Structure 1
Amino acid sequence: MKALVLSGGSGTRLRPFSHSMPKQLIPVAGEPVLAHALGAVARLGVTDVGVVIGGWEREIAEAIGDGSRFGVRVTYLRQERPDGLASCVALARPFLGDDDFVMYLGDNVLPDGIHGLAAEFRARRPAAHIAVQKVEDPRAFGIAELASDGSVVRLVEKPEPPCGDLAVIGVYFFTAAVHAAVAAIRPSARGELEITDALQWLLDQGARVTAGEYAGYWKDTGRPEDVLACNRRLLGDLCREVRGDVDAASTLSGPVLVEPGARVVRSRIDGPAIIGAGAVVKDSHVGPHTSVGRDCLLNAAGVADSVLLDGATIAAVPDLRGCIVGRSATVTGGARRVHHRLMVGDHASVELPG
């Protein structure tokens, strides 16, 4: 089996961050979302991974490299413009050949793993096997209607009114039968080759398409609030490890990871939290569910339930909560304790009133 990991798309819901970096490189729990996706497919025993990239080729290649740190071999597949998930399959045909493959959307996180889904696919070997999960608002998703044996009867995109609550989430398993489907369909009303149309084509041709209900945690990290929620969930699995320097005047409570080269001076860190390599935390309080990126500086700062990207600086701001602060951005202010919730893009400077 091979893997196809999709890392294109514009990420409009993650602006301002997606103006200056691909959404798949937004970090959660200290690693880019895309790294979590590659780890998930590697744990299936898959070693050949095609990564579909768009305009952020250099940035993604720098972050992921050849895939060896995940135990996989990465082949980059350049997509000139995002025109549908099925078009990614067509683009990857020379790489995929006639092998079975798993397609994983690179902005989705499933930390509980996808071994069960893979086992179902291998045991039953339908033309396609899709992951589904119950959602509160079916109108925002592609919805699968299932027979009692788990076979897919029909796929409906963003139904109004809802015809079920099983949303198709970001993991698909395919045999080579999908290539005929992709070649046969035409662009949708929005001008894209939809993977749901390819799946429906398979159904119309009498092929077997099945679904597995995913019981684990799943998050599409398409919005800032999703990034923060995912960061909270992944930090919940953190183990305490101190590889940097923590002085005697500082206190660590709970699972805290202090990476090499990081320094904690006269500060309190309440886990789960990550202090990235080279970061300096001085006279500050880092609260639970916070990821502090590499080379960040916190001075007389208080931050909780937040993600600070590499090189961010927080100074004299005692109560930041639910924030995402971009790379090399600076947030400064007076000592007045007022709760602030900020979304600050890369290299921005924000001065709060004292």
Structure 2
Amino acid sequence: MKIIIPMAGRGTRLRPHTLTVPKPLIPVAGKPIIQRLVEDLSSSYHGSIEEIAYVVGDFGIEVEKELIAIAERLGAKGKLYHQDKALGVGHAIACASDSLNGKCIVAFADTLIKADFKFNDLEDGVIWTQKVEDPSSFGVIKLDMEGYIIDMVEKPATFVSDLAIVGIYYFREGEKLRDALHHIITNNIREKNEYQLTTALAHLKNQGARFRTGQIEEWLDCGTKENILHSNARMLEIHQEQKLIAATALVENSVIIPPCFIGENAVIRNSVIGPHVSVGHHSKVESTIISNSIVQNHAHLKNAVLESSLIGNASRYEGSRYALDLGDFSNFSKR
């Protein structure tokens, strides 16, 4: 099995964090989003993962080395492809055409899942979905009586289905997907001026391919700051039975309200941390109260009261302490 991950987008909704770090490398519960994604896929699949192919933008050599290392730690070969122009997800996947052969999983880089990821790999393809309350913001599918997909509709204005596509796909013959993508690009078949994966899927369906649907327990989107913080909280809850506080972390005169992740060589002093806080490697938190937040690596917080915050790598924030004289019947609010 090969895993193809299109991740060349710049993550503009997460700026300023994505000005220096690609969105898939932002940590969630102590691990980069992309690492959690491939670990979950590889651990849930009953077979072996031979290759993980990333479609990237101009992220720099250090990011590319980290991506290759993530693949190699799972016993797979890492491969890089570059998308020079933002021409849609279908175009991004087509950039990895050399890897589109045999059994393939295509997974979007801003998606985390909680699922028993079992499926029949003899099917032509599988598209994973989850029921949602408001399907108008998602691509959705319709099924026939046998459970095969008969239609895919992007962000329907009227109700079509409540089964939303979560961004994970399986193809038994990756070369057929490669040919379908080549067809839509060669014939300049675009939607909203981009080459879409759903267009290629419709082309495959018209050629006789039959797609099943796979169900997941929980879908965690990581496209915005609020979603990343929610995903961090859920991942901490899901993995709270694991050892989340590094042995090299120093915690002095502090309260840790679980679940929290404390990274290697982090220092927590005179603080209250949690719940749902991840503190990155080599970061220092002093005289601070913080909840529902992510502090990335080599950051330093002092005299802060924070919630629902995302603190970047090597950032420093120092708040102020106040002496307050407040008389009877006073009303004071500081925001």
TM-based fold match above 0.5? yes
Q: Which residue of 2 aligns with 1:225?
A: 226
Would the aligned equivalents of 2:257 and 2:274 in 1 still touch at CA under 8 Å?
yes
What secondary structure, in the 3-state scheme, does the structure 2 residue paired with 1:39 have?
Answer: helix
**Would the alpha carbon gap of residues 187 and 308 (structure 1) be closer, same or farther in structure 2, given more than 3 Å must change?**
farther
Post-superposition CA distance 1:2-49 (Å, at most 9, x none): 111222112121122112210001110000001012212322221211
Tell me which residue corresponds to 1:264.
251
- Residue 303 of structure 1 corresponds to which residue in structure 2? 290
1:320 aligned to 2:321? no
Change (3 A) 1:144 1:2: same
Question: Alpha-carbon deviation of 1:139?
Answer: 1.8
Aligned equivalent of 1:102, options 95, 100, 105: 105
- Structure 1: stretches of 5+ with no match in the other structure: 242-256, 338-352
Equivalent pair of 1:263/1:278 in contact (CA under 8 Å): yes
Displacement after TM superposition at 1:233 (Å): 1.0
SS for the counterpart of 1:327 is coil
* Higher relative contact order, structure no. (Cα contacts within 8 Å, ≥ 6 residues apart): 2
Q: Which of the numbers 143, 146, 150 marks the counterpart of 1:146? A: 143
Q: 1:94-125 deviations in whole A, cap 9, x for unaligned?
A: 123x31201111111114352x2xx23x14x2
Instruction: Give the root-mean-square deviation of aligned CA atoms.
Output: 2.0
> Matched residues in 2 for 1:60 and 1:161: separation?
42
The AA in structure 2 aligned to 1:21 is V
Which structure 2 residue ranges, 5 or more long, are not aligned? 324-333
| Structure 1 residue 59: Cα displacement | 4.0
**1:27 corresponds to:** 27
SS of residue matched to 2:164: strand
Q: In the alignment, residue 327 of structure 1 is paired with which amino acid?
A: N
Partner SS state of residue 218, structure 2: coil
Percent of residue pairs identical: 29
Letter in 1 for 2:236: L
CA distance in 1, matches of 2:110, 2:254: 34
8 Å CA contact 2:68–2:77 kept in 1: the answer is no
Equivalent residue runs for 1:128-167 within 5 Å:
128-167=125-164
1:225-272 per-position Cα deviation (integer Å, ceiling 9, x unaligned): 11111111111122364xxxxxxxxxxxxxxx3214321111111111
Q: How does 1:42-81 map to 2 (within 5 A)?
A: 42-43=42-43, 44=45, 45-66=48-69, 67-81=71-85
Q: Which residue of 2 aligns with 1:191?
A: 193
2:96: which partner in 1?
A: 92
Write out per-residue CA displacement over residues 31-82 of structure 1, whole angstroms, 9 at most, x where no aligned residue: 0001012212322221211111112142422433332222221111111123
Q: 1:307-342 deviations in whole A, cap 9, x for unaligned?
A: 10112211111x3111111112222212359xxxxx
TM-score norm. by structure 2 comes to 0.88
Is 1:273 equivalent to 2:272 in the alignment?
no
- The whole-number CA distance in structure 2 between the counterparts of 1:238 and 1:40 is 16
Check the 8 A contact 2:275/2:292 in 1, yes or no: yes
Which one of 260, 271, 292 corresponds to residue 284 of structure 1? 271
Please tell me whether the aligned partners of residues 262 and 276 of structure 1 are also in contact (alpha carbons under 8 angstroms): yes
Corresponding pairs, count: 315
Distance 1:329 1:58, change over 3 A: same
Structure 1 residues 240 and 94, CA gap change in structure 2 (3 angstroms) = closer
* Partner residue, 2:13: 13
Q: So what's the TM-score if we normalise by structure 1?
A: 0.84
Query: Aligned ranges for residues 169-208 of structure 1 at < 5 Å?
Result: 169-174=166-171, 175=173, 176-185=175-184, 186-208=188-210
- Contact 2:130–2:218 (8 Å) recurs in 1: no
CA contact (8 A) 1:130 1:211 kept: yes
Cα displacement (A) at 1:164: 1.5
The C-alpha deviation readout for 1:189-211, integer Å capped at 9, x for no partner, is 43221010111112222321222
Instruction: Tell me if structure 2 keeps the 8 A contact 1:132–1:211.
Output: yes
